[in-house]
Amino acid sequence: MSAPVIFSGIQPTGRKHLGNYIGAIRQYVEAQERGEPAIFCIVDLHAISVAYDPAELRERLYDTTAILLAAGLDPQRCVLFRQSDVREHAELTWLLSAVTAHGDLNRMHQFKDKSAKQRELVSAALFFYPVLMAADVLAYKAEEVPVGDDQRQHVELMREIARRFNERFGETLVEPEHRIPTVGARIMDLQEPERKMSTTGATEAGTIYVLDEPGAIRKKLGSAVTDSGREVRRGGDKPGVTNLIDVLAVTRGVDPPAIEAEFAGAGYGDFKAAVAEGVVELLAPVRERYAELRPDEAALEAVLAAGAEKARAIAAPTLAEARDHMGIGAPRK
Ligand code: ATP
Ligand code: MG
């Protein structure tokens, strides 16, 4: 099999956290070795679907760019760009809306969750988010989409949209496959382990940020909610401990059962201390490198501009093809 086109997007909202790092960013770094090309997009157009501050959005965009570079994305080996720089995403969104079922959008869990949290306005953008996400991926004819578990439904929908488009207008788009990690696909909030760690909807004390200092990481993990009982084992009745086992397994590069075996008979205190050290070691190099990269905004802009040029060169022909097959614009020569 030839090397796959790989695409994924990440929002420049808030501060990126351990869930993003484990579920997504870690996979991106690995995808660079396999993708031909591997394309990563900082999705500022998605970020405007909830309440936000324009000046802060720009700051967060640089933060996110620097985090991705610090984590190991190499602009020589991947395409890293800002979504809004490639106008094709917005245009393709509208074209795809013609083959997107309103009823399907109505079923999206993320819309239900996030709309319930909006205090002032539930924007149409929040409802339409999955169509823009479909355009992001389909514009590149990507075959593989590395994401966390929460994006499963959105990837299923983009497959459906591609299928409908091809049926209606002739073979044009590629149905992508999601790539969800086997361990760490859904890192939970440390204080409320029934819900996922999240940029916008989690507790502050239950969220470990990629840029947290070691002291903060140790403190948050030390006060992580555990469950009744004393055993370090996974189970539906032990969401807190199960989450911590997954986190430690990822940081050590082993399977969760190996962690259960190692900590059989140990108390929660020793176990949590080990998780904290694992996370500190995982994130410290990223934080240090970030501190070097973040101040040079001109350099970050240069990376994004070069990435956008490469991205446009791939997306523009797909758009031309989609327009042509749909009968939009002058006929192609
Ligand atoms: P929001 O809650 O505002 O949607 P987010 O934390 O989900 O923010 P995104 O930028 O939307 O952040 O997601 C980037 C990537 O991180 C996606 O691939 C998503 O699936 C993944 N991801 C998000 N939260 C987690 C989590 N708790 N565990 C594992 N992966 C996650
Ligand atoms: Mg999200």
Nearest atom, ligand 1, residue 186 CA: 28
Whole-model pTM above 0.75? yes
Question: Could you tell me the two tokens for 159?
Answer: 């497959």
SS3 142: coil
| Confidence bin at 333 (pLDDT 50/70/90) | confident
* pLDDT tens digits along 17-70: 999 999 999 999 999 999 999 999 999 999 999 999 999 999 999 999 999 999
Q: Is 9 in the pocket of ligand 1 (CB under 6 A)?
A: no
Q: Is 192 in the pocket of ligand 1 (CB under 6 A)?
A: no
Question: CB burial class (10 A; 0-12, 13-18, 19+) of residue 124?
Answer: exposed
Residue 312 has pLDDT above 90, yes or no: yes
Nearest atom, ligand 1, residue 197 CA: 27
Q: Is 10 in the pocket of ligand 1 (CB under 6 A)?
A: yes
Residue 102 CA: distances (Å) to CA of 4, 90, 111: 31, 18, 13
Q: What is the mean pLDDT of residues 299-322?
A: 98
Mutate to test the pocket of ligand 1, among 28, 144, 150, 282 (most ligand atoms within 8 A of CB): 150
Nearest atom, ligand 1, residue 17 CA: 6
pLDDT above 70 covers a percentage of the chain that reads 100
Determine how many CB atoms are found less than 10 A away from the CB of residue 302: 12
Q: From CA 239, how far away is CA 249, in angstroms rounded?
A: 15
| Confidence bin at 8 (pLDDT 50/70/90) | very high
| Confidence bin at 14 (pLDDT 50/70/90) | confident
Q: From CA 287, how far away is CA 293, in angstroms rounded?
A: 10
Q: What is the mean pLDDT of the chain?
A: 96
Sign of CA dihedral 23, 29, 35, 41: positive
pLDDT for position 242: 97
The length of the chain in residues reads 333
* pLDDT tens digits along 94-130: 999 999 999 999 999 999 999 998 888 999 999 999 9
Q: Is 174 in the pocket of ligand 1 (CB under 6 A)?
A: no
311 C-alpha vs ligand 1 centroid, how far in Å?
Answer: 23
Residue 202 has pLDDT above 80, yes or no: no
Strands across the sheet with 38-42, in order? Answer: 79-82, 38-42, 6-10, 144-146, 177-179
| Confidence bin at 137 (pLDDT 50/70/90) | very high
Q: What is the mean pLDDT of residues 307-329?
A: 98
Spell out the residues 6+ positions from residue 103 whose beta carbon is closer than 8 angstroms to its own: none
198 C-alpha vs ligand 2 centroid, how far in Å?
Answer: 7
* pLDDT tens digits along 206-242: 999 999 999 999 999 999 999 888 899 999 999 999 9
